[in-house]
Structure 1
Amino acid sequence: FLQPIQMRFNELLAGVRSELAIKVFGDDFDSLAALGEEIGSAIAQVEGIADIQVEQLTGLPMLNLVPDRQKLMQHGISMAELQSQVATAMGGTVAGKIYQGDVRSDIVVRLGESRRQDVDALSYLPIHLPDGHTVPLQELVSLELVSGANQINRENGKRRVVVTANVRGRDLGSFVADIQQAVADKVDIPAGYWLEYGGTYQKLQSASQRLSIVVPVTLLMIIGLLILALSSFKDAMIIFTGVPLALTGGIAALLLRDIPFSISAAVGFIALSGIAILNGLVMVSFIRELRKEGMGLEQAIFDGALTRLRPVLTTALVASLGFIPMALNTGIGSEVQRPLATVVIGGIISSTLLTLFVIPALYRILHKDKESLLTDVEVLESVDAK
C-alpha cells in the first residue's frame, strides 16, 4: 500500500521520473557535462530507446568582469562601490514606492533591457568616482561574455549529471542490460567518477528482489496447505501441476499482445497460480469423493471431469470477462492494468483447458498401480471365498 508513496518520494529526492536514469557522479563540472553527452551518444542506437535527454548543466550566458586593481586605486574607487554601481545598472535598485489604490509597487532604477544585453554598450557605462567625475566601465574592468553553469545538481552531497531515457516495445530489464553493455563498450569512465542506474528500473530491481522471496514462500505454503487438506503428497502435486500450465498461457498472452514483462505482470502470475490451483482442487476433491463411494478409477475420473466441466468453465469465463476492461484499457494506469489482466486472462484460458485433460490423465497414471493392486486383492479374496 505504501509503494506509490515511496515511488513519489524517490522521484522528489532524485528528480527523475523516466523509466531509466543514468546518474554520473564526480567533482569536475566540465567533465560531468562531457561524460553526460558521451553517454547520451553511446546509448542512442540501443533498440527500443526513446526520449533521450541529457541534463543541461552549462550554456547560461554570463558577463564576466575582471577588475584592474591598479586603475581602481588610481581613481580612488573601492571594489565594493564598483560592484554596487554595476549591480544597480544590471539588477536594479529600489529607489522608492508607488501607490495605486491599495496596490503598492517598488520603483526600480536600472538600465533598459537593450542596454543590459549589449556588452559593448555596458563597456561605456559611466562609473561615478568619489571626486565627482565619471569614467567608462571599460577603463576599470575588462568585460567578456562566457558560458557559465546553468545549474549544479547534487545527490547525497556529490555533484551529478543525469541522462534519462524511456523504452518502447521491449521489457525494461533486457533494455537496461543492453544500455549497460553499450556504456561499458563505448564510454571510458575516468577514476573518481562512477555511474548509478535509477528511475523506474531501480524500482523494478527492488520489487524483483522482494518477489524472489515472496513467490517461493507463497508456493511452498500452497503446497503445504494442499498436503494438509488432502493428506496426500501425490494428490497435492497433481493439483500443483496447474501452476506451470497457467504460467504457459500467461506468457503466451504477453507474447501475442507484444507486452513486455513488468512488475504488474509478475503480480498477475501470482494471482493466476491461486486460480489454477483452485480449479485443480475442485476436480481432484470430487474424484476422491467418487472413489470413496466405491466407484472405479477410470469411471471416477471420467465422471469427475465431466461433472466439474461446467463449474470450471463458468468460473474461468466470469473471471476472464471481469479482466477484459483492464486488458483493453488505454487511459491512465493502463501500463499497470494491461500486463496484469493479459496474464490472468491468458493463464485462465490455458489452465482451464489443460486442467480438464492433464489433471485427469496424471491422476490416472499415478493411481493406476494402486487400482491394479486393489483389483488383485479383490480377485484373491473371491478365490479364497470359493
Structure 2
Amino acid sequence: METVKSVSDISSDDSPGRNQLNLKLNYESINRIGMDPQSVTRSIRLFVDGEIVTFMQSEGEKIEVRVKAQSNDLAGIDELLSQSITTPSGEQVALRELVHIETGRSRESIRHYNFRRTITLEADIDREKINEVQINNLIKDEWGKIKIDHPNVSLDFSGALDDIQESLDAMLLLFLFGISLIYLLIGTQFKSYFQPLMILVTVPLAFIGVVIGLIITQNPLSLYTMYGIVALTGISVNSAIVLIDAANTRRKAGMNSVHSIFFAARRRVVPILITSFTTIAGLLSLALGLGGNSLLWGPVASAIMWGLAVSTLMTLFVIPLLYKTFSR
C-alpha cells in the first residue's frame, strides 16, 4: 500500500509493547533427570506470579489466596534463571538448564476476531484518483502473489467496502420487494397476470436512461446513484399504467386491441408528457447543482431525471407495440 500514491496515513494496531522473556521447556533435559514437564511449569509460575489455591470473603469482597515460592526479590532475568528446582532424586537443578530462553518485544495489545488473532490495517485514500473498490481489488491482487507463503494468514475486508457491500445487498432486497409489490398491486387492479409484466418493461427502459445520463454527465455509478435507481422503479411505471388503463377502458367499450391502444396513446400522450416533465423540471436544479453541488442528492436526482425522461419517451412506443402483439 505504501507504493500507491493515492493512499496515505497507513496505520495498524500491531504496535510493539514492552520487552518480554519467553521460556520454552527443554524436554530433553527434563526427561533426562526424570521430571514431569507440568511440575517444571508449575515451579516457574510459583517463582513469578504464584498460584491461586483458594478464595476468601472479607467484607463482601472476594480475596484470592496466592501461594508463591519463598525467595529473594528477583532483580533481573539472571536471578530468575538461577532459581533451583528439586528433582525427584533430591538434586537441585538451575531453572536455566530446563528451559530454552528467548527474549524479544511483546505486542502492545493482542486482538481476536472469531477466535483468531487479528491485525487491523487502516488507511486514507484520495477519492479523486481511486475509490474503495479499486484499492481493495489492488490489495487482493497483490495478496494473491504472496498468499502461498503465508498459509496461516487470511484477509478480511471491512471498513467502507464492507458498508458498501451491505448497502448493495440491502438495495437488491428492496428492489426485488418493490418489483413484487408493484406486480401485485397492478395485477389486482387490472385483474391480469400478463399486463403487469408489460408495465414492468418500463423498468429496464429507465435503466437505459440512467446509463445514458451517466455517459453524458461523466458521473460514476455511485452508491447514491443506485438509491436513485431503486426510487426510479416506482416512478417509471406510471406512464405505462395510465396508457394501459386507457386502452383497457376503450376495449371494454367495444374497440379492438389495435384501435384501443392507439386511441389511448393519442389521448394520453399530453398528460403523460406533462406529468413526467414537471417531475424532471423539479429535479433539474438539484441534478445540475444550480444551487450548489450535493454529493448525496445530486446523483439521486440525476438518475431519476434521466431514467424518467428516457423511459417516458420509449414507453409511448414500446408499450403500444407490446399491447398490440400480446392482447387478443
Instruction: State the one-letter code of the partner of 2:11.
Output: E
Distance 2:292 2:111 in 1: 31
Could you tell me which residue of structure 2 aligns to residue 310 of structure 1? 270
Once residues 168 and 233 of structure 2 are traced to their aligned partners in structure 1, the CA distance between those partners, rounded to angstroms, is 18
Q: Aligned partners of 1:360 and 1:333: how far apart in 2?
A: 39
Deviation of 1:167 after TM superposition, in Å, equals: 3.4
Unaligned runs of 5+ in 2: 16-74, 76-104
Name the aligned partner's letter for residue 55 of structure 1. S
Structure 1 residues 57 and 264, CA, compared in 2 at 3 Å: closer, same or farther?
closer
Which residue is 1:67 aligned to? none
Q: Aligned in 2, Cα 1:331/1:304: closer, same or farther, shift over 3 Å?
A: closer
How many angstroms apart in 1 are the aligned matches of 2:237 and 2:2? 48
**Correspondent of 1:338 among 286, 295, 298:** 298
Instruction: Indicate the residue corresponding to 1:274 in structure 2.
Output: 234
Is the 8 Å Cα contact of residues 246 and 350 (structure 1) preserved in structure 2? Answer: yes
Per the TM alignment, residue 246 of structure 1 is displaced from its structure 2 partner at its CA by 0.7
* Aligned with residue 137 of structure 2, among 177, 186, 203: 177
**1:303 aligned counterpart, secondary structure:** helix
Give the alignment's TM-score, normalised by structure 1: 0.54
1:231 aligned to which of 191, 201, 213: 191
* Aligned partner letter, 1:185: K
* Counterpart residue number, 1:99: none
Measure the CA separation in 2 of the matches of 1:266 and 1:189.
39
Distance 1:205 1:57, change over 3 A: closer
Quote the Cα distance in structure 2 between the aligned partners of 1:287 and 1:236: 14
Q: Please tell me whether the aligned partners of residues 10 and 122 of structure 2 are also in contact (alpha carbons under 8 angstroms).
A: yes
- The structure-2 alpha-carbon separation of the partners of 1:325 and 1:168, relative to structure 1 and needing over 3 Å to count, comes to same
Residue in 1 aligned with 2:249?
A: 289
Structure 2 CA distance, aligned partners of 1:330 and 1:180? 40
CA deviation string 1:189-230 (max 9, x = no partner): 746554332332121011112223222122112112211110
Are positions 1:323 and 2:279 aligned together? no
> d(CA) in 2 for partners of 1:153 and 1:161?
14
Partner of 1:360: 320
Distance 1:314 1:308 in 2: 10
Higher helix share: 1
TM-fit CA distance, 1:330: 8.6
Structure 1 residue 337, shift from structure 2 partner: 1.6
Contact 1:305-1:360 within 8 A present in 2 as well: yes
Question: Could you give the per-residue CA deviations for residues 23-80 of structure 1, whole angstroms, max 9, x where no partner exists?
Answer: xxxxxxxxxxxxxxxx322xx2xxxx73433228899xxxxxxxxxxxxxxxxxxx9x
CA contact (8 A) 1:169 1:260 kept: no
Partner of 1:198: 158
Q: Paired residues, what number?
A: 238
Paired amino acid for 1:40: E
Q: Percent identity?
A: 22
Distance in 1, matches of 2:157 and 2:253, equals: 63
Residues 139-158 of structure 1 aligned to structure 2 (within 5 Å): none
| 1:360 to partner: Cα distance | 0.7
Q: 1:349 aligns with which of 299, 302, 309?
A: 309
The one-character-per-residue Cα deviations of 1:224-258 (angstroms, maximum 9, x if unpaired) are 22111101112111111111111111122122222
Contact 2:286–2:298 (CA<8 Å) still a contact in 1? yes
SS of the residue corresponding to residue 335 of structure 1 reads coil
Q: How does 1:6-45 map to 2 (within 5 A)?
A: 39-41=1-3, 44=4
State the distance in 2 between where 1:169 and 1:255 align. 19
Q: Pick from 164, 169, 172: which aligns with 1:212?
A: 172
Deviation string, structure 1 residues 342-385 (Cα, Å, up to 9, x no partner): 21111011101000110011101112xx2xxxxxxxxxxxxxxx
Contact 2:6 2:129 in 1 (8 A): no
Secondary structure of 1:52's partner? strand
What are the equivalent positions in structure 2 for 1:84-99 lying under 5 Å apart?
none
Alignment of 1:41-60 (within 5 A): 41=3, 44=4, 50-55=6-11
Q: What residue is the counterpart of 1:140 in the other structure?
A: none
1:103-128: CA deviation from partner (whole Å, max 9, x where unpaired): xxxxxxxxxxxxxxxxxxxxxxxxxx
Match of 2:223 among 243, 263, 266: 263
**How far does residue 188 in structure 1 lie from its aligned partner after superposition?**
7.5
- Does structure 2 conserve the Cα–Cα contact (< 8 Å) formed by 1:54 and 1:164? yes
- How far has the Cα of 1:288 moved from its partner? 0.6
The alignment's C-alpha RMSD in Å is 3.4
Retained in 2: the 8 A contact 1:252–1:346?
yes
Ranges in structure 1 where 5+ consecutive residues have no aligned partner: 1-38, 60-78, 80-147, 371-386
Cα distance in 2, alignment partners of residues 193 and 215 from structure 1: 37
**Residues 263-294 of structure 1: per-residue CA shift (max 9 Å, x gap):** 22111111111111111101100111111111
Is the 2:171–2:230 Cα contact (8 Å) retained in structure 1? no
Q: Say which structure, 1 or 2, has more relative contact order (CA 8 Å, 6+ apart).
A: 1
Instruction: Supply the AA of the counterpart residue of 2:254.
Output: G
Determine if the alignment matches structure 1 residue 298 to structure 2 residue 254. no
Q: Distance in 2 between matches of 1:58 and 1:236?
A: 57
Indicate conservation of the 8 Å contact 2:258/2:324, yes or no: yes
- TM-score normalized by structure 2? 0.62
Once residues 344 and 281 of structure 1 are traced to their aligned partners in structure 2, the CA distance between those partners, rounded to angstroms, is 18
